[in-house]
Amino acid sequence: MSAENAAGTPPLLDVKNLSVRYPLRSGVVEAVRGVSFVLGRERLGIVGESGSGKSQTGRAILGLTPQPGIVAADRLRFDGIDLLSLPPREMRRLRGRRISMVMQDPKYSLNPVMTVGAQIVEACRVQKLAGGRAAKDRALDMLAAVKIDDPRRVFGLYPHELSGGMGQRAMIAMMLVGEPDLLIADEPTSALDVTIQLEVLKILDELVATRGMGLVFISHDLRLVASFCDRVLVMYGGRIVEEVAAARLGEAGHPYTRGLLGSAPRLSGSVHPLPVLERDPAWLA
Amino acid sequence: MAVPTPPAAQHDRGLPAPPAGLKAWLTSPAPASRTQARLGRFYRGWRGFVRNPAAMAGFVIVLLLLVVAASADLIATHSPTVAGDLRTERLLPPGGEFWLGTDDQARDIWSRIVHGSRVTLVVVLLVSVISMPVGLAVGTVSGYAGGVVDAVLMRITDIFLAFPRLVLALAFVAALGPGIENAIIAIAITAWPPYARLARAEALQLRGADFIAAAKLQGASPLRIVAVHIVPMCMPSVIVRVTLDMAGVILIAAGLGFLGLGAQPPQPEWGAMVASGRRFLIDQWWVAAMPGAAIFIVSLGFNLLGDGLRDVLDPKAAER
């Protein structure tokens, strides 16, 4: 495993037997069931279909599982800090400054009544990085870092005045302004145009590489993840069914992964009948 | 476009020149700058407002009230508190010397009404300034926190809402002691619960929004999220509601004055003036009718203005 650390320092993120349960009136829903993985300063992709628990895993790491969810794990450590027993105040200090998250749709994840600049400045202020002019300079630098051509103009714009790609870049700027060690990207490009997707990914990739962050990239796009990440976890029904190096995705052994790969459309030749995912209840056992 | 640049467009960073005329510039479908777009939107809202005669009437009445209150010393023909000659100038009907007649203390009713507008405005403004933040704070905290906090705060709100406002205000003034300051406090205490309800409903909707989750992700504390992200979103609807409630505030203040619990004599307060004229209602009708008409016109004005503002500010209502 690439994350096994020879030097003996703890890995960035160490998850063992993580489970997220929702006790509802209609019974207990198990969203995540016994997920374990270790992450160093690398890019880890998590793929799976809707409801496979990939987003729930990301939220559980940040301690943002919505009520009435219950998070349990044998081990949930970030840089040697036990996240499960951390008091809320300490957890808040960790968020943004050490772990951050880029969300799916900038239309909803940016405050509609605050300008982009004000939101990034607010992020600085929350994390007690800087205030006043220093915060503004920092925000402008960050906007420039996500390849926004005219940071001064965008600084004063409201989210509805931005395109999707610009909005997501602003979101990335806002989430990276605290220079976190770990970034969780929860389908950061799903709401974007295909042509913009690659652009945003390139920016994300550069920032992650230059700042030496760990990245958890959650997506349902298997090929995208394979081209972008070092390692891929395939989730199904709240479990990790397969872990494979991105370069060797073609040699994946699990029938579910093979099914996902087979379902991807091909440009050359027609496939008849169209492949259908097979789901074996035995995988959930 | 090769249209010659009119003077109005010259600040405009040399961008394409709009057709001549301020109106055309304001209604241009392709604004050349953000300022122009913003002014244009304001202008269209204003046009919609002007087209509504009732709202315009309300606006004019409130504007008149403001002018009268600001220049009360110039407009008033006599002192509002110093009595005239009690033998010859008592209870005179409206006429040349005393435009709206005199009351039982031989004071000019016109001057008293003019000065009373100040009292009315102070009451309306202070009640809004006190009750709006309270309602917003209770509502947003309750809606965002949920659970026990929500239950406790909302039950307190329910208790306040369970009483008729005037009766509750009466009880508070009776406990605090009569006087205009205490009347303001009492009215403010009874005015916040509807705002709290409104703010809570909006906060509940916002609580699950993605941008609130994003703020949490940055490590913002719950208090900060409420203050920075939720309160500004609840403001518009609460402000409209406050404007609509202003007429009610005037009526309650007048009601308290009428019952002798608001402004104390000799302060010219419209409700108290109606009360003092009650004894002469049959023979000297103007003593009670003039301040009564003032109360009626001003509260009508605030009501019409509030309705008009709601139509302009709410884009959903404007489309109809």
Chunked mean pLDDT (size 10), chain A, 285 residues: 52 91 89 91 88 88 86 91 89 89 88 91 85 88 89 91 89 89 89 83 87 89 84 90 84 81 76 76 73
Tokens of A19: 């489970």
CB A36 within 8 A of CB A15: yes
From the list A96, A104, A110, which residue is nearest B218 (CB)?
A96
Contacts of B208 in chain A (CB under 8 A): 66
Is A18 in contact with A33 (CB distance < 8 Å)? no
Q: What's the pLDDT score for residue B317?
A: 52
Mutation choice for A interface testing from B144, B148, B211, B238 by most A CBs within 10 A = B211
Residues 6+ apart with CB under 8 A from A273: none
User: What is the pLDDT of chain B when averaged over all its residues?
Assistant: 86
What is the span of the domain harbouring residue B314?
101-319
SS3 (DSSP) at A29: strand
Nearest chain B Cα to A108, which residue? Answer: B210
SS3 B16: coil
Helix B270-277 with B231-258: angle, nearest 10 deg = 20
Specify the pLDDT at position B320: 44
Is residue B66 a part of any domain in this protein? no
User: Which residues from chain A sit within 8 angstroms of residue B216, using beta carbons?
Assistant: 64, 95
> How far apart, in whole angstroms, are the C-alpha atoms of residue A230 and residue A214?
11
- Which one-letter amino acid corresponds to residue B316? K
On whether the CB atoms of residues A64 and A20 are closer than 8 A, the answer is no
Return the structure tokens found at B166: 């005037």
Please state which of the ranges A20-29, A243-252, B72-81, B233-242 shows the lowest mean pLDDT.
A243-252
Q: Which residues of A touch B214 (CB under 8 A)?
A: 103, 109-111, 171, 174-175
A257 touches chain B (CB under 8 A): no
Domain assignment present for residue B43? The answer is no
Looking at the 3D structure of chain B, how many domains does it have? 1
Nearest to B127 by CA among B233, B230, B254: B254
> Do B301 and B295 form a contact (C-beta atoms < 8 A)?
no
- Residue B49: band (very low, low, confident or very high) from pLDDT cuts 50, 70, 90: confident
- Edge-first strand order for the sheet with A231-236 is A99-102, A182-186, A214-219, A43-47, A231-236, A239-245
Ranking A69-78, B104-113, B197-206, B310-319 by mean pLDDT, the lowest is: B310-319
Residue in the structure block whose two tokens are 């500004």: B232
Q: What is the pLDDT of residue A8?
A: 58
The verdict on residue B143 lying in a domain is yes
B55, pLDDT greater than 60: yes
Q: Are A237 and A52 in contact (CB under 8 A)?
A: yes
> Which residues are paired to A32 by β-bridges?
A20
Q: Which ranges of B177-261 does DSSP label H, i.e. alpha helix?
A: 180-207, 210-217, 222-224, 231-258
Q: Evaluate whether residue B69 is within a structural domain.
A: no
Please tell me the predicted confidence (pLDDT) of residue A3. 44
B233 touching A (Cβ < 8 Å): yes
Contact predicate A172/A204, CB 8 Å: yes
Contact across the interface for B218 and A62, Cβ inside 8 Å: no
First to last CA, chain A: 25
The stretch B124-140 carries a mean pLDDT of 94
- Whether residue B82 lies inside any domain: the answer is no
- At B150-200, the pLDDT tens digits run 999 999 999 999 988 889 999 999 899 988 999 999 999 999 999 999 999
CATH code at B194? 1.10.3720.10
What pLDDT does B31 receive?
79
CA atoms within 13 A on the CB side of B160: 21
pLDDT band at B10 (very low <50, low <70, confident <90, very high): very low
Label residue B5 by pLDDT band (50, 70, 90): very low
Look at residue B23 in the predicted model and tell me its pLDDT.
81
Of all residues in chain B, the one with the smallest CA distance to A105 is: B210
**Locus of tokens 């919505």:** A66
In this prediction, residue A46 carries a pLDDT of: 92
* Interface contact flag, B217 A122, Cβ < 8 Å: no
Residue B20 lies in a domain: no
Residue from A56, A102, A109 whose CB has the most chain B CBs within 10 Å, to mutate: A109
Chain A partners of B215 at a C-beta cutoff of 8 Å?
Answer: 111, 122, 126
Cβ(A212)–Cβ(A12) below 8 Å: no
Q: Is B13 on the interface with A (CB under 8 A)?
A: no
Residue B208 inside a domain? The answer is yes
| pLDDT value of residue B302 | 92
pLDDT at A71: 92
- The fraction of chain B above a pLDDT of 90, given in percent, is 46
Residues of A numbered 113-142 whose beta carbons fall under 8 angstroms of chain B's beta carbons: which are they? 113-114, 122-123, 126-127
- Across the range B58-65, mean pLDDT stands at 93
H-assigned helices in chain A: 54-62, 88-94, 106-109, 116-126, 132-145, 151-155, 164-176, 194-211, 222-228, 255-263
Dig out the tokens for B280 from the structure: 């002469």
Rounded Cα–Cα distance for residues B207 and B212 (Å): 7
Task: Examine residue B158 and state whether it is found in any structural domain, yes or no.
Answer: yes
